[in-house]
Amino acid sequence: MGPVLSTRQGSRSAGAGQLARHGTAWHGTARCAACLAGAASQGGTGWHVPLSSHGACATFCQRCWRLPRGRAGAAGAARGERSAPKAAAERGDRLFPIPGDSVGHGRLQAGTRPSGRPLPLPPGPPRMWLLRLAWALAVLGIAAGSGPSPSPTAPPPDQASIFADLTPAELRAVRTFLMSRPELGLSPSRGGPLAKNTLFLVELLPPKKRLALRYLDQGGPRPQRQARAVVFFGAQAEPNVTEFAVGPLPRPSSYRPLRFKGGRAVPFAARPMTLLEYELLHRTLAEAMEPLYRLLRDSTGFWYHNCSRHCLTFSDIAPRGLASGERRSWLILQRFVEGFFLHPVGLEVLVDHRDPDPRRWAVQRLWYNGQYFSSPQELAERYERGTLAVARLAEPPFQQLFSSYEPRGRFATGTPTEVHGAKVCEPQGRRYRLRGNRLEYGGWSLAFRLRSSAGLQLFDLRFNGERLAYEVSVQEAIAFYGGHTPAAMQTKYMDAGWGMGSVTYELARGIDCPDTATYLDAHHFYDADGPVRFSHAICIFELPTGVPLRRHFDSDFQGGFHFYAGLEGQALVLRTTSTVYNYDYIWDFLLYPNGVMEAKVHATGFIHATFYTPQGRRYGSRVHSHVLGNLHTHLVHYKVDLDIAGTGNSFETMDVRFENISNPWSPGARVVQPWLHRQPRRSERQAAFPFGKALPRYLLFYNPHRRNRWGHPRSYRIQHSSHAGRVLPRGWQEENGISWGRYHLAVTRHHENEPTSSSIYAQNDPWEPLVSFEGFLRNNETIEDQVTTRRHGAAGTELGRGGCQEPPALVAGSAVPRAPLTAAVPSAQDLVAWVTVGFLHVPHAEDIPNTATPGNAVGFFLRPFNFFDEDPSVASRSPVIVRPLDPPTFSQLEIQRWTPASPGPCVAPGPFTYNGTYRQE
């Protein structure tokens, strides 16, 4: 019996007389001789730098390491992550050690006080706590956490473990190895100057698909385990960012650059923000705000320069500028109280921090209460002269601050809320199995990992042993805003650039996930000097859906019934969260017993708010006295690498059209009826469905060579659950960085050099993105499963599609080659679906204090469509069938079930009962 929703009340018993019956590579140039020799010996591609002879190559500049340009290098590219402790740092959050943990071990939490009481700073230099204590997030490894009952874990199967995240030991080994290489010249991430070489990110570099499938399906060699390492080379004349493949793990001994098509290096200005840069930015802002001390103190009761209790903090905006190469950030100043996102004070500051030397950073513009100023001094002088329109804010209350979670008010009905509500329980234990990173449930099996760069990633998704998808993964999440203030109109968040996959904080038992869930830890190496452990970052649980998977009541239309049958609805949930600055994303993958998979994301957390002005009303809603909730559109992008009954798939759409025909059984009459219009999609452009045009209702991926029992091609369907729309006109500046956001769905052929649709660099350089999704479609490749004609030449050689020659075939008993002939040979296409979902959010008063999850969830389903011969959930032993034994009296019923008669005391003390009659009394 699966999990059930439990309440304290028992169930009502139904009648007597019931009988129970249980059913039985690198293409570059190098300066040193070792590099040149290695390149020559390996043809200039894919070679490992010999570490014993590499000493002369001491720097890695754009001239020496000329990486090929492209839209999706083998490592997807690092774009500017924003971790939550790191985001706390950039905003001005104070972070304190949790009691019992040393500061050096990374377990920190935001300091809290009731409602609006300002949070005190710990001793030390002003606001240095921010980045000295807030650890950065880093690459991930998963370890099982403890649960309320024995954890259903075991040693990982060898096959699934090729997709497992790097362990803490592997993460440390990669760092130790790279730090030991003198030619890299790496320094610790913490402290020191900004102009230095640092290791920013380490995470698993997944094996190439062809190598993984050869291992999984053909017994081939196990793919070599490698890490992706992102290095910031800032200590040189031409700074850049370079990504490396490091291996073999667990004992790395070599590395090679990962490349983007076209040879383009990652611009240094496109790199993600680091805690060190935020610390230097804080110092610059503190110095710049000194002339505004009186204005801020008098108008808000808080200030930024040299504060200890009534402190201001800031939220920073991206992209950082108006063109590639810039690094200028608008900062929103806010009062640091609980929910400080909702407490702007009316001051926004533009800081240019492109130069590696922070002494050259400068404030360029300010916006205060609807007016622009060229310097802090100009704004201060206007205030002192009394010619400034001052926005005076009331002192925040000590308790029940509007931005806090503290209860206030009463429900009109008076029904109790001070007692626990319904809970999930597992009456006979867990019905899923977790072995390392291999998850099994009913017919389902899959491998999973949690990327620091972008989040959850599923591999080798199978039902009853048949692979349905090689990969299903989150690629990117964006929120593009509009507003009257400069920060609001500049806000175009691309959350992979803020460490979307690394801000996976602890899930609260009984709130974020049921008490019965299995909780897993994660380890990230992101902007840190070692792996950081995130407790209970992932949870897995079986969830009662609250609605039957299927049911039927077969009435006799005389007050009784012939039978009742139903199958309780349950799904297995794999969940994590990303707290990206103000927003919290809840990421779910759900597995249903009938072969349906659902990918879903809920949006919650604080709205991104700016200071209210009358002109701002056309960009959102006024949600408090001085707060405007700005309109924005959320888009989320997924990669779905489908392998429906094999890698050779085709794609078609299906919808309804109407026909007007003569009525065959009534001469002279007409019949208008629907019929199915199928449209094969033969090229990538034909399979790209832009926003603004109707999306066909059936999107079918099928294997044309495999059919079910009834003669239909075995298919799966993508079904959107979304009301997404365009965020900007096509090709307009920042829109180039999210060209995937032009389409509901796009289908491309699989290519190893197109692993991701976005990168961690797009946030800070969306104008010239390193990964251009539109480039995936530009060559408009065929996606149709074609039949290729092969021709045998006169000399007996067989000429294939690529013109490769094969040995001549001989006629049996003769040395004479065969005569020329032709043969039809299927040529399979491996297809990838790129799915965009989202919604428009116009904030409203009910978003205070937080955006709620109901109505703010989007996603898609993978649904079987003639893939099986019948609903595969018939294999479940959870149905209940009730048949009357003595109609029409219905005094005796036969109840057939294959699970225990009672789910146990966590639900109700009595067994299942049923009556089924509906007679007038």
Q: Find tokens 């040193």 and name the residue.
A: 32
Burial class (CB in 10 A: 0-12, 13-18, 19+), 636: buried
User: How many H helices and E strands in the chain?
Assistant: 10, 46
More confident position, 140 or 284: 284
Tokens of 131: 């980045």
Nearest Cα residue to 210 out of 593, 752, 868, 787: 752
Check residue 768 and give its pLDDT: 95
Q: Write phi, then psi, for 513 (nearest 5 degrees).
A: -145, 160
The CB density around residue 797, as the number of other CB atoms within 10 Å, is: 16
- Whole-angstrom distance, CA of residue 519 vs CA of residue 104: 24
Average pLDDT value for residue range 331-354: 97
Average pLDDT value for residue range 456-474: 98
H or E element in which residue 489 lies: helix 486-490
Check residue 260 and give its pLDDT: 80
More confident position, 378 or 890: 378
pLDDT over threshold 50, residue 755: yes
pLDDT in tens, 369-428: 999 999 999 999 999 999 999 999 999 998 889 999 999 999 999 999 999 899 999 988
Q: DSSP 3-state assignment of 344?
A: strand
- Whole-angstrom distance, CA of residue 460 vs CA of residue 440: 12
Q: What letters, b where the CB count within 10 A reaches 16 and e where it falls short, cover 409-443?
A: eeeeeeeeeeeeeebbbbbeebbbebbbbbbbbbb
Q: Find tokens 């943990």 and name the residue.
A: 101
pLDDT in tens, 801-857: 333 333 333 333 333 333 343 444 344 599 999 999 999 999 999 999 999 999 999
H or E element in which residue 294 lies: helix 293-300
Check residue 79 and give its pLDDT: 34
- Whole-angstrom distance, CA of residue 572 vs CA of residue 542: 4
In this structure, the strands spanning 18-22 and 108-110 are: unpaired
The runs of H, that is alpha helices, within 180-238 are: 209-218
CA 855 to chain centroid: 19
Tokens of 630: 């700005």
Tokens of 863: 């649904």
The three-state (H, E, C) secondary structure of 848-900, written as one string: CCCECCCCCEEEEEEEEECCCCCCHHHHCCCEEEEEECCCCCCCCEEEEECCC
pLDDT in tens, 28-65: 333 333 333 333 333 333 333 333 333 333 333 333 33
In this structure, the strands spanning 518-526 and 197-205 are: antiparallel
Q: How does residue 264 score in pLDDT terms, banded at 50, 70 and 90?
A: confident
Sign of the Cα torsion 773, 775, 780, 783 reads: negative
Average pLDDT value for residue range 151-170: 78
- Whole-angstrom distance, CA of residue 331 vs CA of residue 616: 18
- Whole-angstrom distance, CA of residue 295 vs CA of residue 333: 13
pLDDT over threshold 50, residue 442: yes
Q: Write phi, then psi, for 643 (nearest 5 degrees).
A: -130, 80
Check residue 47 and give its pLDDT: 34
- Whole-angstrom distance, CA of residue 785 vs CA of residue 698: 19
Q: Which amino acid, residue 625?
A: S
- Whole-angstrom distance, CA of residue 474 vs CA of residue 460: 15
- Whole-angstrom distance, CA of residue 241 vs CA of residue 130: 26
Quote the Cα angle for 218-223-225, to 5°: 155
More confident position, 72 or 741: 741
% of the chain residues with pLDDT over 90:
72
Residues carrying an active site annotation? 495, 583
Are 40 and 606 in contact by the 8 Å Cβ rule? The answer is no
Picking from 115-124, 257-266, 445-454, 639-648, which range would have the lowest pLDDT averaged per residue? Answer: 115-124
Tokens of 121: 């700073």
Average pLDDT value for residue range 453-461: 97
Nearest Cα residue to 67 out of 244, 238, 257: 257
Q: Find tokens 């293409």 and name the residue.
A: 27
The CB density around residue 808, as the number of other CB atoms within 10 Å, is: 14
Q: Find tokens 């920060």 and name the residue.
A: 487
Are 502 and 83 in contact by the 8 Å Cβ rule? The answer is yes
Average pLDDT value for residue range 610-637: 97
Q: What DSSP line would sit under 780-822, residue for residue? A: --B-S-EEEEEEE-TTS-EE-TT--B-PPPB-TT-SSBPPP-E
More confident position, 772 or 104: 772
pLDDT in tens, 52-103: 333 333 333 333 333 332 333 333 333 333 344 444 333 333 332 323 333 2
In this structure, the strands spanning 627-630 and 609-611 are: antiparallel
